[in-house]
């Protein structure tokens, strides 16, 4: 197989990227799926070592579905030593314990380290083994550290693209602040405190007229509970208007 050097690809807004190295991948579809997983999280630097079915691979292109530029820029190499010879630090992904003395990191910690090294100008590679067997011990021996995912020990096998996706996700998290909780207001906006207050007063007044707050000894607690409910609902302005309208319509039909 002829060695093809990787094309120069512009760094995305992630800044410097690691090299995603697929070692002896067996199926073009999995290479294409890995390219999609990479681009999902902004990574574009792929290297392919001795693909079983040769290169280029039509099945990989078809499966990439929009991530073809990752494949177009990929470097293809005959041997692992050629593929990572220019790298300063290499991680190897594995689901099994190995009889090798190496640091073992979670994907999160490994990508935290990888980004720090890339920002210092060092070239970092992450190795992914073939789908059926994973990386061999002699390939893992070339790595500086291992990445291990805490998967179910009774079913530890990850699809190649799944493993790439996990790594790419963790690398992206190092450069992007993750919003752990977001409220989408669609075409509305949050109701102001005074709007919620007026809504509470509207319901409280009409419920009072209907004799809802009974017995009198519990009325104050019931009103506080109702006020707390309105403030806890995180209402939009449209919600407030809708609740006002519901109550007015109910009372109009009653009258």
pLDDT of residue 7: 45
Residue 147: CB atoms within 10 A of its CB come to 26
243-249 contacts at long range (C-beta below 8 A, 24 or more positions apart)? 243/199, 243/203, 244/199, 244/202, 247/202, 247/203, 247/206
d(CA 150, CA 128): 16
Strands (E), the chain: 19-23, 46-49, 75-77, 89-93, 104-105, 124-128, 145-147
pLDDT of residue 8: 47
d(CA 34, CA 22): 9
Q: The pTM is what?
A: 0.73
pLDDT of residue 170: 95
Angle between helices 193-209 and 237-254 (to 10 degrees): 20
pLDDT of residue 65: 87
- CB neighbours of 242 closer than 8 A, spacing ≥ 6? none
81-85 contacts at long range (C-beta below 8 A, 24 or more positions apart)? 81/142, 82/3, 83/21, 83/23, 83/47, 83/49, 83/125, 84/19, 84/21, 84/47, 84/125, 84/127, 84/142
Neighbour-count burial of 123, counting CB atoms closer than 10 A to its CB (0-12 exposed, 13-18 middle, 19+ buried): middle
pLDDT of residue 103: 92
CB 189 within 8 A of CB 236: yes
Residue linked to tokens 């291992």: 146
pLDDT of residue 188: 85
**What is the phi-psi region of residue 65: left when phi exceeds 0, alpha when psi lies from -120 to 50, beta otherwise?**
left
**How are strands ordered across the β-sheet holding 145-147?**
75-77, 46-49, 19-23, 124-128, 89-93, 145-147, 104-105
pLDDT of residue 140: 93
- Take residue 169 and report the two structure tokens written for it: 């996700």
pLDDT of residue 97: 62
Residues of the chain with pLDDT under 70: 1-14, 96-98, 177-180, 255
CB 226 within 8 A of CB 202: no
d(CA 158, CA 11): 28
Give SS3 for 20.
strand
């Amino acid at each position: 197989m002829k060695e093809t050097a990787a094309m120069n690809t512009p760094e995305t807004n992630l800044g410097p990227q690691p090299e995603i190295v697929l070692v002896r991948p067996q199926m073009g579809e999995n290479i294409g799926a890995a390219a999609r997983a990479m681009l999902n999280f902004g990574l574009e630097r792929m290297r392919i070592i001795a693909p079983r079915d040769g290169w280029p691979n039509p099945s990989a292109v078809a499966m990439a579905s929009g991530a073809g530029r990752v494949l177009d820029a990929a470097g293809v190499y005959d041997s692992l030593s050629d593929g990572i010879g220019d790298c300063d630090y290499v991680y190897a992904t594995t689901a099994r314990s190995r009889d090798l003395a190496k640091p073992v990191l979670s994907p999160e910690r490994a990508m935290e380290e990888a980004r720090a090294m890339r920002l210092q100008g060092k070239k970092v590679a992450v190795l992914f083994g073939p789908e059926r067997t994973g990386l061999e011990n002699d390939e893992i021996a070339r790595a500086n550290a291992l990445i291990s995912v805490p998967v179910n020990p009774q079913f530890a096998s990850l699809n190649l693209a799944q493993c790439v996706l996990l790594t790419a996700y963790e690398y992206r998290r190092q450069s992007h602040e993750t919003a752990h909780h977001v409220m989408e207001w669609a075409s509305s906006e949050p109701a102001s405190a005074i709007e919620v207050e007026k809504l509470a007063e509207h319901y409280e007044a009409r419920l009072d007229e209907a004799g809802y707050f009974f017995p009198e000894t519990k009325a104050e607690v019931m009103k506080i509970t109702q006020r707390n409910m309105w403030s806890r609902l995180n209402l939009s302005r449209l919600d407030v208007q809708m609740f006002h309208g519901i109550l007015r319509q109910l009372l109009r039909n009653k009258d």
